[in-house]
Structure 1
């Protein structure tokens, strides 16, 4: 009752650190579990958004998830800048719904000398577009900017290589593709080149103190090297336990295999939608495998709410965005090709 498979509460984050690192393509000390996603974004802006008079801009997509937009705007204001001047928004071209890779790189190039941080998602929450994290990071670094990512819809979905790509920081939740449950603890990544940089600003807490002397209650603060040096309080035990259960499955299956099946499932879904739903639907998500994850955003030729209600009544779990978009996301861990076929068959009968 008190130890549970030999796991001690004070070491609970040890059991999620290595498998989390494997999922995001990182070294173990580059990863920490803590807080929630938006809170971690704020904590990562402390060391990695250091605006100056000449270099103060944040480059991000125009249709970012609202919480990301709120976080960035509040950080910019906190540092004394006007979001209208400091936030550079990248929008799709007229008549298009997703961003072109080259357009992203062109904006970074245009504002390079005045940009402090490029902050993008790994996968766009509405369209399901997956971004070229490696190229975006390289473009930011070319001009001396930091590169950070919100991986809420990418972790457990894409085959990530954060260390190899040189990403400065990344944050994610664990209740989507990682299946750790609503409100589960979030994660963050800090590249190893920053692991022992004492000059980094941070908001510190006792759980970020060097583990060897953490319980000595000594002063001054000495950061644990790596991402765990940004932790504030001890991680909630029950939240970590649900994450452990999920990560054991990811370790067993392997993220490469999960991604491979995910690509095949969505390719099958696209084929079925085109064959059975015809002009009644438009797949918003890019069809190129490298530019999508498991999610396909599908625009209907009619209001989505009644269609979504009927799908739900039939036991088909999907998601809607009014007025006309339904999001289908077959998960390779537990969805089958037969289930994908059944979902499209039901959708076709409703259109």
Structure 2
């Protein structure tokens, strides 16, 4: 890591306060090998791009970058313990060194970000130094955003099907039911029926127009034990912009315990979702049960068909029904309430089209994608005319 050995002192007073600043109004460009360091604010009111040198922000003062034109740095370094606040977007094209202090943006303003353009790299990010706000990248297919909040680094790994022209992300240690950085709320009770609980401590906001998976993590601040006792029941979830509720974004990989872990989603389109976080399945694996059933298909709208709500948890399921003699009388893959007392098996079922006789039947339900199998009984009461 290379630090600054000399400092450019071109200081102008700010009208708003006593803090000094470098006010760039044009004509400055850094050439290969140049090193410029700021212990003061930077006001950029003219194009500041095509640079090749290093620009660093240093010291213990509160520093900011402001102006009317977004600066484009080549190498950028932050060793400013109080951080550097961006009042306009700023970019780097080669390398960013995080040493101490955060690059900060106001999280309610999505158009202000720190951008790492094209093949720009970053290193050294930690709990002590990161982007506390929006980070943007361009022309990357796989990328780890060096983001977090005031206290912790909470990166998001984006893995896309193709190169993203742009993608942008920020981390929020906020309750989605009452977020400080949004005027909109994201009610954790408005969710897919398969979902049990949604994390109310943290979330990420990701913008991207390419089908992608994301990998996010949890730690002791995430309170994962309040969601589930079984980490395999965790899912990445997102707030759908179209439907205004939480959707399941899947779980292609998960590892960890209640204190620390990581989870990877299935593929989704980031721009379809306002924010993402971690949730849990409706019923944990060790508690999932299916009751016995009563069916009376008499057309009164009550118990006319067999409804097994738990099958909504599984996209690869199968229902089999047997009579008391062990004869298969009904079989349906991906069952969605088709059984109304009539067999669909072409075997020795007597008067199949007229309906099965009243009595007790034995069912087997398989949820192949979840690895569950359940057995129970159904009492069929056919109407008498």
TM band (smaller chain): under 0.3
Higher strand proportion (structure 1 or 2): 2
TM-score scaled to structure 2, two decimals?
0.21
Structure (1 or 2) with the larger CA radius of gyration: 2
- Using CA pairs below 8 Å that are at least 6 residues apart, which structure has the higher relative contact order? 1
